[in-house]
Structure 1
Amino acid sequence: MNKRFPEHSNYFLIFYSTVFCLSMFSCGSDSDESIKPEIKSITESVYASGNIKAVDQYDAFTNASGPIQEIFVQEGDSVSIGTPLLAVFSEREKLSRENAEIAKAYAGLQANQSRLRDLQLTIDVNKSKMQNDSLLYVRQKALHDQNIGTEVEFEQRKLNWENSKTAYESALIRYNDLKREIEFNSNSASKNLAISKVLESDYVLKSKINGKVYALLKERGEMVTPQVVLAVLGSADKFLLELQVDEYDIAKVKVGQEVSVSMDSYKGEVFKAVVTKVYPIMDTQTKSFTVEAEFSIAPPQLYPNLSLEANIITEVKENALVIPRGYLIADSLVINENEDTLRVKTGIKNYQFAEILEGIDASTVLIKPTL
């Protein structure tokens, strides 16, 4: 017997280890903390943190570089689409716009009317000469048909008429060419002026929305670049919640779910919101998804960037068989009054309770395990 004992020693060790582990949950339990499962409603939720944002809130940038020449608004001002916020000084763009204005004035139709009138006079003169030479040619031809006059006189009249006709047609062509050239130059100058004004307008930062100026981040005279945020704008009276949800919970979140919201600025109060949008991409740095919600019951006063904590209610079940989470071991075991370890199947869970689907009923007496 002594020779066989060593080969079975490992089995004895496993047996006593198992008994020891179970005794931690059963023998050490406090019988005074016995309960029975309850029939009640249970709510499952997903935790999220985030901030308040004004609807259409955005950071305003300029396309220009240079010192701020003028600031036209103050923080808290109401603005509409196209309202100038500030101007960045640029001597180069100013000179470019002035040069384009000069070019447009020089190339305009009004400025070139004298050139067109000069050609029009040439056309009128050539037309009169052509008509006169045509009349003389017709007369000479009539005489020539009657064998009156010389052949040289007839050919000369014919040649004069053809030359004056060619001169008239040439003047018409030059007039039309000049008119097209003037119109092209005028249109081109107008386009160049419009481009210069657009480029110069890039140096004037304008509002993209009807809303409110929440922040002006630079002062007059400060140098700015296209990478620098100059102002923060957003809706004056409409706000939303921007929530960050962990990647492990995002699959449970759906549009339309109710959200319970608490904020440091309204301690002890809970407000209601509804999920309106789930962004379908994860931030790889924070391992979280962005979820938007709108208040259904909102605080009396809100400001952008207020911090908040929220619970997105993912499921509510009425008349569920539940036990406190403290009576559940590894989400699958409980201990009854006889200190037997029973396996259970759980449903939805929250921080306080867990739903029991199988394994025990409402008459089962449970004791709380102690670790």
Structure 2
Amino acid sequence: MKSVYDVLMERGYIEQITHEEEVKALLEKERVTFYIGFDPTADSLHLGHFIQIMVMMHMQNAGHRPIALIGGGTAKIGDPSGKTDMRKMLTPETIVENGNALQKQMEKYLNLDGENGFVANNAKWLDELKYIPFIREIGSKFSVNRMLTAECFKQRLEKGLSFLEFNYMIMQAYDFLELNRELGCQMQLGGNDQWSNIIAGVDLVRRMESNQVYGLTFKLLLTSDGKKMGKTESGAIWMDPEKTSPYELFQYLRNIEDADVENCLKLLTFLPMDEVRELSALEGSEINRAKEVLAYEFTKIVHGEEAAEQSLETARSLFSNGTKNENMPTTEMKTELFEAGMGILDVMLEIGLIPSKGEGRRLIQQNGVAINDSVVTDFARTLDISDFESGDVVIRKGKKVFHRIKLI
């Protein structure tokens, strides 16, 4: 039977590791307690976060113990990693609310019962720190020269790095120390942009406790041309069904580029690798079958089998005949808006189908917009009451994006 290390390596998660042979042996022979941190900068996980969740699920399925660390303290500072500008400051109340929402979501995917897995919040120790004792005890273990060579800081030095953000690495390293002391945490995992912070934590635990701990990073979810996945014209792809419906999540993955199919099947599903390779080898229009499997499997992990079945059924009915369906993304609008007629570009802007009227005109020029299966050819086309059959209308953007408007 493969160890979880071999599984993670084969599926392409692992990017960097501090002590490869030691970690490999540790994961094969011991029950390892590990942690991943999530700063509550929003009230939902998004698609990019789900690589971390998948790794935690793989690890827990192999018998290891995850600590989901909510960054209630570090969110008050803001991680400069991968950012060109300082993060927006959130109120303490918002941070608490967001943290509670993230914990509730993670409990859907992980067993965090206090024995097989844990939830912790670094506000518990960071909020109580006294500045002078902390700087004397912990700050003295950090070299500013070495910190400035870290990638997360180098990117920001040109534009300006605040002293507030400069503390982030020390705070994250201190988290590892606290979790090692309190829960015997032996490993910190994170996205590849966290490498510098993770190394700092490994070093601090060694200096303070003389304990050997380990760090491992995994791939960020990127497209084949190096862009972060999970961003659309209307915003991020969220795991909260109120923010991104199961159908929208399904459609996002159903419509990815052919070149991204294999990577997503490996990272975002639990399908056996033989099946992943078989699906990834499909060519031409056949690759759409692999995309459908990917969308179904991931929607099932996030929202359950029923939501995945409904999304699949909706997508198939739309691809076959454009049929209106209750599971389609829907916006309710007041009837009076359409009594005198409302321009198609205004409507599409209002429901978030386009980011600008310029983009809408470009789509119409390319015959990329339809109202109830009738292609729009005139920028000045308006929607009025006569377009609403049984009180609703379907707008299609491109070949695969459908949105229903319902009159109220």
- Give the TM-score of the pair, scaled to structure 2: 0.19
Whose RCO is larger (CA < 8 A, sep 6+)?
1
Which structure dedicates a bigger proportion of its chain to strand? 1
> Which has more radius of gyration?
1
Which structure dedicates a bigger proportion of its chain to helix? 2
